[in-house]
Amino acid sequence: MSILARTPAPPLAAAALLVLLASCSGEEQQTRIPTSVRSETSRPPVEQPAPELLSSQQAFIAVSSRVTPAVVNISAARITPERRLPAFFDDFFGEPLPESPHGPRKEQSLGSGFIISADGYILTNEHVVKGAEEIKVRLSDARTYPGKLIGVDPRTDVAVLKIAADAGLTAAVLGDSDKLQVGQWALAIGNPFGLDRTLTVGVISATGRANVGIEDYEDFVQTDASINPGNSGGPLLNIYGEVIGINTAIVASGQGIGFAIPINLARLIAKQLIEKGEVTRGWLGVSIQPLTSELAESFGLDKVSGALVNQVIPDSPAAGAGLRRGDILLSFGGKEVKGVRELQLLVANTPIDSVVPLELLRQNERLTVNVTIAAQTPPPVTRRPPPAHSEEGHGLGLAVTATEEGDGVLVGRVEVSSAAAAAGVRPGDIILAVNGSETGTPAAFEKAVRKALRAKHVVLLLRRGATTLYLAFPPG
């Protein structure tokens, strides 16, 4: 017995149901479900997509098919020691506790990379292979090889691997990241979350991103092409299929904010790692600081751009070229110095013994000097004794005392509500000059302060630890 029979419907409803069933049965042979498959009897909803869409789609397909064979999957294995309970637990229980049954653990991380030469050199991120005791590289055709670590540079997060393949390898073509423009297409290929050779598409959101806090030397390309864990070390590409960056990091709290190391920087690092196994950076021999609007105005600049020299190291390339404290560096090798990070990167990437023109502003006069870049050396470290007693620096809210060296006055106390405190003056700073007047004694400091209070800005030159810096603030 059917369910319909056990649950009878009212006569009119039953009749309507019979008519509906009969109608469905009669039209069964004529009804077709529309599909988007191209055929003689069924056409897609949009038969002629815009040519721009078709060309973009074809470009993405071409980039993926041409570059994917050069993208590799990197598996890095690390051995972590077993964790044992502290010894006082042995005393508590009266005898040593048994060792962990698991022993040392083997941890694996997945990342990406890309082949840069037919003989097996591979570019990736340093953090992908950091601490790895075993590295395996899997190609797009599933061949797997052990990876040999050629060298790493933690300061830029670049690493170079080498594999000995038994057949020819497809190498990626490196582009020119200096020519990138905001708004260009950007494509990322990698292994996010272990999903091999995933392609994502976006645009170049920004170039020259610094002060991100990821690496020591930052000049990132920012993109909204989706980058996720596992993409690290993979290529960022333009629509010509050229590598323009190494995908490196994302902003975890935001979406569509990814960073890539520009390929021009990575190429320089890789060249040194392959040739020497380490990176040697250029050194100028100055301590520099960024300009504030107050400092820029006090030094006669019409915009906040450049790097202010607050110390010249003796016997350095800068000293040999005649640079002085208070110089503002405007361009290096013909490239504008927008700030401290830009200058550090320009100098670091300059080959040793290169002679580079350096444009600077000194006492409202523009000069150009030639400097011979040397190899980078660590800065000297100096220590200063604590203050013994204090005398007031009237008008600035500072208490100062003489130093043993007699080259400045030592700040012992800073009034919290003072302009000096707001500008960043700290106890323990040594004030070397006020508005260009040297302050070797508390009396000289007081005299310089009285004069500075009549100026538009108070400019302090002070030493903090091993470095010197300028601070500027209104006299009020």
Tell me the torsion sign for CA atoms 205, 207, 210, 216.
positive
Q: What is the residue range of 254's domain?
A: 173-276
Structure tokens at 473: 């603030």
**What is the structure's pLDDT at 13?**
44
Q: Looking at the structure, do residues 333 and 272 belong to the same domain, yes or no?
A: no
Q: Is residue 21 part of a domain?
A: no
> Same domain for 271 and 178?
yes
Give the whole-angstrom CA distance, residue 468 versus residue 431. Answer: 9
- In eight-state DSSP terms, residue 57 is H
Which residues, in sequence order, are CB contacts of 267 under 8 Å at separation 6+?
174
- Is 288 a member of any domain? yes
Q: At which of 327, 344, 375 does a domain end?
A: 375
Neighbours of 375 (CB within 10 A): 10
**Residue 96 maps to a domain:** no
pTM to 2 decimals? 0.69
Q: Which residues contact 381 (CB under 8 A, 6 or more apart)?
A: 465, 466
Catalytic residue among 75, 109, 112, 127: 127
Q: Does residue 223 fall inside a structural domain?
A: yes
The rounded distance, in Å, linking the Cα atoms of 102 and 91 is: 23
DSSP element (H, E) containing 123: strand 121-125
Provide the pLDDT for residue 417. Answer: 80
What are the φ and ψ backbone dihedral angles of 449, each rounded to 5 degrees?
A: -65, -45
Q: What CATH number is attached to the domain comprising 268? A: 2.40.10.10
Active-site residue flag, 437: no
Catalytic residue among 153, 157, 196, 219: 157
Specify if 256 maps to a domain: yes
* Count, residues in the chain: 476
Whether 157 is a known active-site residue: answer: yes
221 and 272 inside one domain? yes
Residues 288 and 258 in one domain: no
Contact 174, 116 (CB under 8 A): yes
The count of structural domains within the chain is: 3
Domain end point (choices 276, 311, 328)? 276
Residue 272 lies in a domain: yes
- Residue 452 inside a domain? The answer is yes
| Domain assignment present for 265 | yes
Residues 370 and 293 in one domain: yes
Catalytic residue among 112, 177, 232, 331: 232
One domain, residues 362 and 348? yes
The pLDDT value recorded for residue 7 is 32
C-alpha angle 153-156-161 in degrees, rounded to nearest 5: 45
Q: Which of 242, 276, 310 is the last residue of a domain?
A: 276
My answer on whether 259 and 179 are in the same domain is yes
Shared-domain flag, residues 324 and 415: no
Same domain, yes or no, for 269 and 325?
A: no
| pLDDT given for residue 424 in this prediction | 87
Q: Is 394 a catalytic residue?
A: no
pLDDT, position 457? 83
Kind and range of the H or E run holding 25: helix 11-26
Do residues 313 and 285 make contact, with C-beta atoms less than 8 angstroms apart? Answer: yes
Q: What is the CATH number of the domain that holds 422?
A: 2.30.42.10
Tens of pLDDT along the chain (476 residues)?
A: 333 333 334 444 444 444 444 444 545 555 565 555 556 666 777 878 888 888 889 989 999 999 999 999 999 988 766 555 555 545 544 555 555 555 566 677 789 999 999 999 999 999 999 988 899 999 998 899 999 999 999 989 999 999 998 878 999 999 999 999 999 999 999 988 778 889 999 999 999 887 776 777 788 999 999 888 888 999 999 999 999 999 998 876 767 889 999 999 999 999 999 999 889 899 999 988 888 888 888 888 888 889 999 889 899 999 999 999 899 999 999 988 988 888 888 898 898 999 999 999 998 899 999 999 998 765 444 444 444 444 445 578 888 888 877 888 888 888 888 888 888 888 888 999 888 888 888 888 888 888 888 888 888 888 888 778 888 888 86
Count of CA atoms in the C-beta half-sphere (13 A) of 44? 7
Same domain, 316 and 345: yes
